[in-house]
Chain A
């Protein structure tokens, strides 16, 4: 049985156009490739 209150919590306000720039700047852009490169460079430094 669907609980309205619980389901409502899953909905979040949508980003407005004015807020798009902040959303882009605040986005975490770190990917697996960045992490790998960082790890490899750290390993090289230790050697």
Chain B
């Protein structure tokens, strides 16, 4: 303890050994402050936190520099959930004694974790909001808000008390008691808590006559708490008395009413439901049938088309295939080859080749087929052309113009550069009165034998035929 006048350390004397000031009263004040601090410490040790707050505040009223008292007050505030008040005390303590002060650790503990500080602030804001809701008579919102506050800071005594007060106001005595019990676990001797608790217990306990209290009397049930269960025991409930006849009568009435309800309400609705279901099913089946009919019609059309294709293909195949199943054109080509190799008969070979040519498109045949055909044509072409020219000329001379035209056309096929054949063919056409073909044949003569006597004659015939 230091002298208030000069700051020197005081001895056991009632005066300052340095400046001589009378410090007896000053020492008495310091002792009172310490006395209150000790009292506050004892109360804090038995968790009489509100009592400790009172004693420690008294201690600080006598000596604001009592650092231990101030630090303990901050700690008690912190335990009661009053974090800002605790911080304030610790900050003042730190300012009064900057060195070797445990308040440093306390402040560090709170401020080091930003999330924790934010949570503390949120808790305070929510509590203030809940209080505002109470003022505005929005008690449900206040209750919700206070529950949030207590989930964040379960040691906040004032929040517990306010929530208990709200429960008391709504006559939820068991819930109020639960909150107040929590308050008591934090602060055992809080007068406000104890006052509320007394009121709540009075409401929960039955009175001396075994009846419920004024509040519960209006209700038909007696509620109390057993561990975590809320027991609701109905009161003034008596079993109805009656004789057997009335019971049977009531049962019969019940049965009749039940049957009537079933007949008038349940059966029609069930019938309507079934009807709707059957209609839906019928509609679905109708749609299914339509769909299948459409598929059948498509398939029938497709079948007809396929049958037509099949018929056409069969006809084509019959044209190609002989009676023994082999291809006619191949037979003809083989026959031409055999005829040429065996008999060297140019006309017979040419006849087979003509059948091949008329029966198949040579561009679509295989290379071997085409090669054999062309080789045979080359071999017998000149001789066959000459033979057809001779037979065609003979037929013309004898007046058989159709035969002449046929043979001369064959001769032209094997010897297409021979103008004499075209000249005779022109005559045959002219005699057969086929003017267009005759002009075409004479025109060919003009191309193959220009500036000749035959060409001049051919021109005369063309002019004559054109004039007619």
Q: State whether these chains interact.
A: yes
A contacts, CB < 8 Å to B: 1-2, 4, 7-8, 10-20, 23-24, 27, 29-34, 36-37, 40
CB pair A15–B124 under 8 Å, yes or no, is yes
Chain B, interface size category, equals: 35 or more
The 4 residue pairs across chains A and B that have the minimum distance between CB atoms: A31-B64, A15-B84, A4-B169, A13-B128
CB pair B29–A36 under 8 Å, yes or no, is yes
What separation, in Å, do the CA atoms of A10 and B85 have in the docked complex?
17
What separation, in Å, do the CA atoms of A40 and B161 have in the docked complex?
46
Chain A residues in 8 Å Cβ range of B65: 31, 33
- When each residue 143-175 of chain B gets 1 if its CB lies under 8 Å from chain A and 0 otherwise, what string results? 000000000000000100110010011000000
CB pair A33–B63 under 8 Å, yes or no, is yes
Interface assignment of B273: CB less than 8 Å from any CB of chain A: no
In the complex, identify which listed stretch (B87-95, B279-287, B305-313, B359-367) lies at the interface while the others stay far away. B87-95
Would A10 and B62 be within 8 Å (CB), given that A15-B84, A17-B121 are in contact?
no
CB pair A20–B199 under 8 Å, yes or no, is no
CB pair A36–B25 under 8 Å, yes or no, is yes
CB pair A20–B26 under 8 Å, yes or no, is no
Interface assignment of B82: CB less than 8 Å from any CB of chain A: yes
CB pair A16–B29 under 8 Å, yes or no, is no
CB pair B64–A29 under 8 Å, yes or no, is yes
- When each residue 30-68 of chain B gets 1 if its CB lies under 8 Å from chain A and 0 otherwise, what string results? 101100000000000000000000000000111111000
What separation, in Å, do the CA atoms of A11 and B124 have in the docked complex?
13
Chain A residues in 8 Å Cβ range of B125: 16
Which residue of A2, A11, A18, A33 contacts B64 across the interface (Cβ within 8 Å)? Answer: A33
Given known contacts A15-B88, A32-B61, what 15 new A-B pairs fall within 8 Å (CB)?
Answer: A2-B165, A2-B168, A4-B168, A4-B169, A11-B162, A13-B128, A14-B124, A16-B128, A17-B117, A17-B124, A23-B84, A31-B61, A31-B64, A31-B65, A36-B26
CB pair A32–B91 under 8 Å, yes or no, is no
B255 to chain A, nearest CB (A): 53
Chain A residues in 8 Å Cβ range of B4: 33, 36-37
Would A32 and B29 be within 8 Å (CB), given that A1-B199, A11-B131 are in contact?
yes
Q: Closest A residue to B28 by CB, please name it.
A: A36
Q: Closest A residue to B84 by CB, please name it.
A: A15
Interface assignment of B127: CB less than 8 Å from any CB of chain A: yes
Interface assignment of B222: CB less than 8 Å from any CB of chain A: no
B282 to chain A, nearest CB (A): 69
Interface assignment of B288: CB less than 8 Å from any CB of chain A: no
Which residue of B33, B63, B92, B199 contacts A24 across the interface (Cβ within 8 Å)? Answer: B92
- When each residue 4-28 of chain B gets 1 if its CB lies under 8 Å from chain A and 0 otherwise, what string results? 1100000000000000011001100
Which among A1, A17, A19, A27 has the highest number of chain B CB atoms within 10 Å?
A17
CB pair A16–B124 under 8 Å, yes or no, is yes
Chain A residues in 8 Å Cβ range of B199: 1-2
Q: Which of B241-275 contact A (CB under 8 A)?
A: none
B212 to chain A, nearest CB (A): 16
Interface assignment of B326: CB less than 8 Å from any CB of chain A: no
What separation, in Å, do the CA atoms of A37 and B311 have in the docked complex?
136
What separation, in Å, do the CA atoms of A11 and B164 have in the docked complex?
13
The contact sample of 9 A-B pairs, CB cut-off 8 A, is A15-B84, A15-B88, A17-B121, A20-B87, A29-B92, A34-B64, A36-B26, A37-B5, A37-B26
Which residue of B61, B165, B192 contacts A4 across the interface (Cβ within 8 Å)? Answer: B165
CB pair B26–A10 under 8 Å, yes or no, is no
Chain A residues in 8 Å Cβ range of B61: 31-32
Q: Closest A residue to B123 by CB, please name it.
A: A14
A10 to chain B, nearest CB (A): 7
Chain A residues in 8 Å Cβ range of B33: 32-33
A47 to chain B, nearest CB (A): 12
Q: Closest A residue to B202 by CB, please name it.
A: A1
What separation, in Å, do the CA atoms of A40 and B20 have in the docked complex?
13
What separation, in Å, do the CA atoms of A20 and B85 have in the docked complex?
8
Q: Closest A residue to B87 by CB, please name it.
A: A20
